Structure 1
Amino acid sequence: MAKLESPLVLKRDNLIVTKAGRYHAAACYELEPIHFDFKKMDDYQLFLSQFQQAISKMYYSGMFLMAPTPYDPVDDLMKGAKTPEVLQESFLHGVQRMAAHIRQIPYKYRMYMIIFVEQESGSAFKEIAKTIAETFRDLSKKTQHALGGEPFTLAKSEWEGFKEKEEQVFTFFNRFISLRRLRQIEVDWLVSRCAMRGIDPARLSNEDYIEDSGELLSASPVEVMKAFTDVALDKKAVPGMLRFEKGFPEGVKSGYFSFMCVSRLPKGMGTYPGDTTIFKVIQELVPCPVEVCVQFQPISPEDVRWKLNTSRYLSRGKAGKEMQRKQEVSKKTREVLGESRALQEYLDETEHPMFKTTITICTWGETPEQVVSNREEISKALRNYELQVPVLQQKQLFYNTLPGFPKKTGYQYFLRLTTEWLAATMPIASTKLGDPYGFLIGYTGLQELYPVLLNPRRGSEDSRRASTGSCLIQGAPGGGKSVLGNYIVHQELMRGAKALIFDPKNERWHWPYELPYLHPVTNVVTLKESIDDQGKLDPLARVRNQITDTTAIASAKEIINYMANRRNDSIYEKVIDHVVNEVVEESNRIQPNMMRVVEKMHDYLEGRARWDFHPSLKDKIDYAAADIHSTLKMRSRSGLSRLLFNDGTNQPVDLSKQLTILQVQGLLSGTNQDESTDTRIRKVVFMAVLDLAREFADEEIGYRTVFIDEAYFITDDKEGASMLRILLRTGRSKRNNVILCLHNARDLNLDEDSSEEDGGGEVRSNVTNRFLYRLDDRAEAIKGCDLLGIPAVKSNVELLRDRTVMGSGSFMMRDFNGNVGLVRFNLQQVDPALYRCFNTSDPEILRIREEKFGHFRTMRTQEEIAKLQGQQVPGQIGGPSMQSQPQIKPPAQAQQ
């Protein structure tokens, strides 16, 4: 094995200084990736145009380097959490489970750009002349180099010149693309990893090891050579590979890596987006870590024309000789002539430089067999490219792909690319989806290699954008919508949010028992047709101030109007406005409630009160008052509607716990399509729940999450849609999270006056994160594409309907930035306990749940537990576990 030689002089800030005849400096940057899936073609062309604009004006040599970097997700999973002490231990255990699952893929790709800071003319002759001129013009540089005398020194004046040129480079590129300068420790890592690919360099330091003596900068040889100290490469161990050995305190580590080169691009022009976006193709299709290096050097159009004319002259001569021999011109000669004509047309139309380019791909493994397997995967992914494994040039390729290495050695697989082709490689293209930090919500990419994090608080934390993290979950039944909603609420709860869940199907009663850590912070409220629950959803019973509580007052009027069933009747509206206002005006003496409204109407009809209406309206007013009074009086003492009529006996629903699960027995029994009295009663109770949720979300102190399950039940009524709009707007204005669970696009029709065809403008404006599960109907899939903001082309429509791709746990996600991707989330693998708790369809899970926890639903058992714990008896306001739980008789009593 041969020891490695270091071409480096020093590394400082984001610059790598090397020496090859003269000193060179390369600046290192990280490029900000952009999501590149499910875009409109106009967007793809815009990305290409912007990147091409930068490259067309770029007379710099350098490389685009995609490298897999170590990734520990713990910090991202914990950032922003404000977990209460009672949940701290459970939160940390959950983070550990998510992190362990993510670490199965212990890297993520990052894109770097390394640019030599001195501009090139693009002409070889001009570069030679420039070098000669510099030698005679500035003899002092050679003197300073000689005075230094050491391999790790640099004249201070030259360093200052490099820094000035780097500033020009950064300013130039920052006009076109988002990038950031690397820190010195990141530059050290980028170089150090090259000698031992697959092993993460250890013990890197942020300390500046450069000594400044005034005239010279001197670097510590130990620090500069760290990447190569005690590293040996064996190019003969396995043909087409390099074997490395690196000494560590704990022993010697070894491995293999191999370089592959692109010798020919896809035939024709390649497809964009598609074949040309080589970085993204590798990310998506290769299931092992791979490094992709695209090195480029500008060539002036004049040099290209000269070489092109020479090539065309030779090809024509060869074709002429073949024709003289009465032979058919060979296919290869015809291809060369055709490509020459196409290139000549390009050069006639532009003065942009072309680029002498090499595309090198590196893969590694602990054994030669693993490296061979990785190369096969790369060949499959890049099947339209022609790839070579240069058996005798592996060590040359190692040096040539080092970041900042100035002088290439040996034969290279050069490709001459136009600015458009180089831009079409699109190094900034990525499958990046979701938020920078938050909790795990699934994986994206064709190989499901990239974790997706969700942070619904991002809108409230981002001062640059007035937005909310509200979520829409839509899809056919059985896809996992409720499980996803439950999971989001649970994770928000663990990160310190206060949550309200409306659970109309009574599917979450077991949470405090199956997840014991939730018991101290949970209040499960089950309302039913009982005098014990009389008026607990009364919107007026929560009014404290007639000036600040205007929304609750308006909701009460709308609820009464809905029960009266006289939509758009101005007389009825006048009566309701008048009597509700009278009740509210007494709030400084008597707590308003809906029973007071009934009493006020009764007093008027009995002649004990007068209303100031014009005499000409008296008959109509009397009729409307009598009709409304009889309806309200009947509804106030029977059925679910009694939940809306508080008489001062019961307090409203207690929302003081960190988690409140609100259930209403019988709310979803039957259908929501008919116009029966029973359906209207159930819907008006749903409206009261929405107003309660609106008040819960209308709070700026602390972060809050509201989950409305089965929201489809209310959206087909104008009044219900209006209250849902108010809830969404409240969540946006207070930057709290509202989660809606819907079935289809019809449920989005919240605004009849919307310019949107489906009336879904309110959802698009106020809901940032959107999750679409499988949509069976084609028309629904087309509307789903519109909701996601992706083109409704055949491939996207069929994808949303595909039962194989869009199976259980798979959904299309639109994130905070408007990026869209396919996400798969297997909660059973990530957290089996949460999966069992949130599952409501597996018969075996339901059977075990009922056996273990079913007895907790009986009032008697609840009372016994409360007494043993010295707490309030469930059913009382503020109880630690349940309010008004349904009484289920034990089996023995049932038999009697």
Structure 2
Amino acid sequence: MLQFPIQSYKENVIYTHEMEAWSYYRLHENTVGVNEQEAENHLVNRLQRLAWQFAAFEEIDYKIIPIPVDIDKRMDRLQQQYEGNYAEIGRYYAERAKEILREEAKHVVDYKFFVGVKLKRRELDENIIHTFSSSFKSMNRYLQKLAGFSGHEVDDLTVSLFKESEEDAFTILNNYLGAYRVKEKELRYIIRHQFVRGQEQPNGDGSMYSLTEGILDPGKAGYVQIKQLDDESWCAFLPVSEFPIDLTYKEWAYFFQSYDFPVEVNMRTIYKKKKDDENQTNTIKKRFRDQDAQLIEANEDDDSLINTGRELLHDLENQIKNQGKPLLRTHFHFVVYGGTREEVRKRARRLKIDFKDQQIEIVQPLADQLLLFHQSIPAAKIIAEDWEQILTPESFAESLFSLTRKIGNTVGFYLGKNISHAGESVTSSQSLVFYHPFLAHLGLKGSKYSSPHVTISGPTGMGKSYLLKDILLNSVFFGAKVLMTDPKDEVEKKFKEALTPEMEYTAPFFKELIESFNYITLSSEKKDAGKLDPLTFLEGEEAQDAAVGVLEYLSELQSNERNVKTAIYKGVRHIMQQDQKPGLLKVVRYLQSSDDQDVKNVGDLLYEIGTNGVAKLMFSEGNVEGISLSEQVNILQIQNLNLPDEGEKAATRDEHIAVALMQPLAKFATKFARDDSVVKLTIFEEAWMLMNTGAGDRLINELLRTGRSLRSAVYIITQSTYEYNKPQIKENIGTKFAFKAKTTEEAANIIEFLGMEDNKANRDMLKNLTEGQCIVEDMYGRTAKIQTDVLFDEWISAFNTKENDRGRAETEEAFI
């Protein structure tokens, strides 16, 4: 007859009927970047040292529990943060996201890592007796327990006997992996989870009796059926029956996290005295001698595997004797569960096959299922003793226990899926990625960056704009005010092309959203002349510096033309001081009136530039009407702008003017970002052009430094990270998205920018990213390969930047 092991619990400590105590802790989740072997080795090293230190205790209980991701709860929390004009629309889309993700991600879990430590009891001494002698009630309860009388309350004397050991356990665990003492609610959750696997998850409330309710039926060989009043599920317990000699890179407590079904892990390690460990090695040596005798008798050659094992055993024997290395007597089993026995059978088969590939043998015993169920309960004794495996600290550490795939934010809008594991896709991955654009600047615990700024980099056609627009639309639901610069003049066009007449009925909220944006289109027409004249919307030294910068750049002055540079400075200062409504055209006339022929020639050139074509936007008489940013979302776009290729200097006059226009455009955005009365997003499309000018470089740096205090997030959209791969810049960027690298050199630059390990695997991965795939470094410094994924058809249509192919793609693919 199996007895439920838990007699009582208090805080994070469980007390058994045998007066033993187990303390439980939840570990900090550890992450390593994509293909980051050095970071993985660092975790392995910490796990090794932890396994050595835990030898001071008798027994350790390692658990990995898959906690179902509560989509409804996350989306409800998100909706509570929505405010402003678009809050209602945001709530509508959050509800739609709930419905879609409930179906698409029904098996999504977060893996949580727990460690239980069997505590050492202090013996009763005179000091303890004296301390509690005034409390006859406490002493009496303790004596009753020793005599075998049960009770569910934990007295102070019992707590005190294990307090010192509990503090030692917490200190060791926290030093090597980082841990929290579990709360009683978490402890109840772990207990209740055992009796509802594959059913509705517990909330961590209830009495001890209610936690253990359920009928366990081991009637079907190899399975346990769990029955509740209104639900039932099936479980299979799969112990490890054989480990290979070398467990390096097996990742046997990690790699299954990419599965589309939950896997639970229970691993108990038992430590014995040094003498027992020496005896264990002697027993194994005897087995080798017996095998040698059999080989000689059969006249067969030595087995290479046996020879390797013999060498390893010799080293181990020396380490036990000379260094006190402990042996870990490990009882390790997986649990898979589901709604039907057939579902569990398939999951168990998948697990067995995949572990077989790792040379790890796991089995599904027919008769031990109930024993293994009992052994999974916190603080239970080892009763299925047939499955013991002897591990060293090194082999235990190769499990990568505590490693998780977590990336992004816990509460945020759905961004896509983590596809870091080989062969994963957006359809197969169950690792959801959520993103919140207004968390980084709060300086949350564990975060590496406290900056709200973001870079999105990559070549044309790989998904930069698609991702940006997804973030843009989701951000407005938080009440953020937005200014987006669009030098390509495509956002309004693509958004409004997606608005079909049917949307009046099928997607009215989307139609309302898109039509409410303030699209500010600047053209070469006379009505727009001067709207980006820096002397009209800036003041003081800032206006002077911007005006001088534009005029010098357009003049293409050489270093020896100091007289002209001086004249430009004097002209700008003169107009600003003498004229109530200054404008760049007035500065140009000042230059044209100079007695210096060189200055006059430059004035004539600037007049021709400033009164023709799109350059008119920067030149005015000072009497222009300013650009209104009264709406929540403002998209500033310029027509007929001929941009140079990324990374190239402006080669033609039109390209030169386009780059010049970016300077006042950026200054205008900077002025918008400085308003600290509301949370803001300032988005720079084609930002690389700004960095090609000294003034633009200074502007970006200023915004990145001051944005957090101004409640302004700057989004830099660029084709290359080269200009931003400088310590003073990238340290001020909180989240980085990098799409495909075209060359090995570019891949190396992205790797450095994201702080990844520079190796061939990462360079190849970056060069082979496909459309919609990118590497992200989040605010916690974690990196992963993700696939962006938009849930709503009307959004997908609006985000598509590709031209209508008139059936060309379909025709081509028909013959593939």
State the TM-score, normalized to the length of structure 1.
0.79
After superposition, the Cα gap between the structure-2 partners of 1:808 and 1:413, relative to the gap in structure 1 and judged at 3 Å, is same
* Structure 2 counterpart of 1:63: 61
After superposition, the Cα gap between the structure-2 partners of 1:641 and 1:154, relative to the gap in structure 1 and judged at 3 Å, is closer
* Structure 1 counterpart of 2:112: 111
* Structure 2 counterpart of 1:771: 737
* Structure 2 counterpart of 1:451: 432
1:605 aligns with 2:594: yes
Residues 191, 212 of structure 2: 8 Å contact kept: no
Measured in 2, the distance between the counterparts of 1:630 and 1:379 equals: 81
Mapping of 1:514-525 within 5 angstroms?
514=499, 515-518=510-513, 521-525=516-520
* Structure 2 counterpart of 1:319: 292
**Which residue among 822, 825, 831 is the counterpart of 2:785?**
822
Residues 601, 629 of structure 1: 8 Å contact kept: yes
Letter in 2 for 1:281: F
Deviations for 1:143-170, whole angstroms, at most 9, x for unmatched residues? 3326883353544411343445433422
**Which residue among 566, 577, 581 is the counterpart of 2:569?**
577
Residues 489, 707 of structure 1: 8 Å contact kept: no
Mapping of 1:274-293 within 5 angstroms?
274-275=249-250, 277-284=251-258, 286-293=259-266
Mapping of 1:181-200 within 5 angstroms?
181-200=181-200
Residues 537, 688 of structure 1: 8 Å contact kept: yes
Residues 120, 162 of structure 2: 8 Å contact kept: no
1:680 aligns with 2:663: no
Gaps of 5+ in 1: 121-126, 207-222, 607-621, 751-758, 848-896
Measured in 2, the distance between the counterparts of 1:699 and 1:450 equals: 38
1:562 aligns with 2:540: no
Give the C-alpha shift of residue 91 in structure 1: 0.5
Letter in 1 for 2:256: I
Residues 456, 468 of structure 1: 8 Å contact kept: no
Measured in 1, the distance between the counterparts of 2:620 and 2:716 equals: 28
Residues 643, 655 of structure 2: 8 Å contact kept: no
* Structure 1 counterpart of 2:443: 462
Letter in 2 for 1:551: E
Measured in 2, the distance between the counterparts of 1:164 and 1:793 equals: 46
Give the C-alpha shift of residue 186 in structure 1: 1.9
**Count of equivalent residues:** 770
State the TM-score, normalized to the length of structure 2.
0.86
After superposition, the Cα gap between the structure-2 partners of 1:453 and 1:426, relative to the gap in structure 1 and judged at 3 Å, is same
**Which residue among 20, 42, 45 is the counterpart of 2:41?**
45
* Structure 2 counterpart of 1:487: 470
Which has the greater radius of gyration?
1
1:472 aligns with 2:455: yes
* Structure 2 counterpart of 1:709: 685
* Structure 2 counterpart of 1:808: 771
Letter in 2 for 1:834: W
SS at the partner of 1:299? coil
Measured in 1, the distance between the counterparts of 2:519 and 2:303 equals: 82
Mapping of 1:474-553 within 5 angstroms?
474-510=457-493, 511=495, 514=499, 515-518=510-513, 521-544=516-539, 546=540, 550-553=541-544
Deviations for 1:169-214, whole angstroms, at most 9, x for unmatched residues? 22332222222222222211211121231113456538xxxxxxxx
After superposition, the Cα gap between the structure-2 partners of 1:432 and 1:202, relative to the gap in structure 1 and judged at 3 Å, is closer
Measured in 2, the distance between the counterparts of 1:463 and 1:701 equals: 23
Deviations for 1:444-473, whole angstroms, at most 9, x for unmatched residues? 043421111222323322178774232222
Residues 87, 517 of structure 1: 8 Å contact kept: no
Instruction: Give the RMSD, CA atoms, in angstroms.
Output: 3.4
SS at the partner of 2:741? coil
1:782 aligns with 2:778: no
SS at the partner of 1:196? coil
Measured in 1, the distance between the counterparts of 2:598 and 2:261 equals: 74
After superposition, the Cα gap between the structure-2 partners of 1:38 and 1:89, relative to the gap in structure 1 and judged at 3 Å, is same
Measured in 2, the distance between the counterparts of 1:837 and 1:795 equals: 35
Give the C-alpha shift of residue 590 in structure 1: 1.5
Give the C-alpha shift of residue 295 in structure 1: 1.2
* Structure 1 counterpart of 2:241: 263
Give the C-alpha shift of residue 396 in structure 1: 0.6
* Structure 2 counterpart of 1:699: 675
After superposition, the Cα gap between the structure-2 partners of 1:270 and 1:204, relative to the gap in structure 1 and judged at 3 Å, is closer
* Structure 2 counterpart of 1:412: 386
Residues 840, 846 of structure 1: 8 Å contact kept: no
1:798 aligns with 2:764: yes
1:228 aligns with 2:212: yes
* Structure 2 counterpart of 1:871: none
Measured in 2, the distance between the counterparts of 1:6 and 1:574 equals: 90
1:749 aligns with 2:720: no
Residues 257, 364 of structure 1: 8 Å contact kept: yes
Measured in 1, the distance between the counterparts of 2:465 and 2:400 equals: 38
Residues 291, 362 of structure 1: 8 Å contact kept: yes
Deviations for 1:818-857, whole angstroms, at most 9, x for unmatched residues? 2211101232xx121211111121528999xxxxxxxxxx
Q: Among all aligned residue pairs of Structure 1 and Structure 2, give the percentage whose two residues are the same amino acid.
A: 20
After superposition, the Cα gap between the structure-2 partners of 1:153 and 1:174, relative to the gap in structure 1 and judged at 3 Å, is same
Deviations for 1:694-718, whole angstroms, at most 9, x for unmatched residues? 2222333322212222334454455
**Which residue among 387, 395, 403 is the counterpart of 2:370?**
395
Give the C-alpha shift of residue 725 in structure 1: 4.3
Deviations for 1:268-293, whole angstroms, at most 9, x for unmatched residues? 3222xx31x22211102x22111011
* Structure 2 counterpart of 1:175: 175
Give the C-alpha shift of residue 732 in structure 1: 5.8
**Which residue among 389, 396, 410 is the counterpart of 1:422?**
396
Residues 469, 737 of structure 1: 8 Å contact kept: yes
* Structure 2 counterpart of 1:92: 91
* Structure 1 counterpart of 2:507: none
Measured in 1, the distance between the counterparts of 2:303 and 2:652 equals: 83
Residues 839, 845 of structure 1: 8 Å contact kept: no
After superposition, the Cα gap between the structure-2 partners of 1:201 and 1:729, relative to the gap in structure 1 and judged at 3 Å, is closer
Letter in 2 for 1:243: Q
Give the C-alpha shift of residue 331 in structure 1: 7.1
Residues 772, 784 of structure 1: 8 Å contact kept: yes
Measured in 2, the distance between the counterparts of 1:836 and 1:327 equals: 70
SS at the partner of 1:94? helix
**Which residue among 414, 433, 440 is the counterpart of 1:440?**
414
Measured in 2, the distance between the counterparts of 1:391 and 1:44 equals: 37
Give the C-alpha shift of residue 412 in structure 1: 3.4
Residues 5, 16 of structure 2: 8 Å contact kept: yes
* Structure 2 counterpart of 1:841: 802
Give the C-alpha shift of residue 728 in structure 1: 4.1
**Which residue among 634, 648, 668 is the counterpart of 2:608?**
634
Residues 78, 411 of structure 2: 8 Å contact kept: yes
Letter in 2 for 1:261: P
* Structure 2 counterpart of 1:880: none
Measured in 2, the distance between the counterparts of 1:64 and 1:245 equals: 26
Give the C-alpha shift of residue 320 in structure 1: 4.4
Measured in 2, the distance between the counterparts of 1:563 and 1:255 equals: 74
After superposition, the Cα gap between the structure-2 partners of 1:50 and 1:567, relative to the gap in structure 1 and judged at 3 Å, is farther
Q: Decide which moves more: 448-457 or 87-96.
A: 448-457
After superposition, the Cα gap between the structure-2 partners of 1:322 and 1:657, relative to the gap in structure 1 and judged at 3 Å, is closer
Residues 449, 780 of structure 2: 8 Å contact kept: no
Measured in 2, the distance between the counterparts of 1:404 and 1:573 equals: 81
Letter in 2 for 1:396: L
Mapping of 1:368-383 within 5 angstroms?
368-383=341-356
1:297 aligns with 2:270: yes
Give the C-alpha shift of residue 667 in structure 1: 0.7
Q: Decide which moves more: 729-738 or 330-339.
A: 330-339
SS at the partner of 2:386? coil
Residues 469, 768 of structure 1: 8 Å contact kept: yes
Residues 38, 757 of structure 2: 8 Å contact kept: no
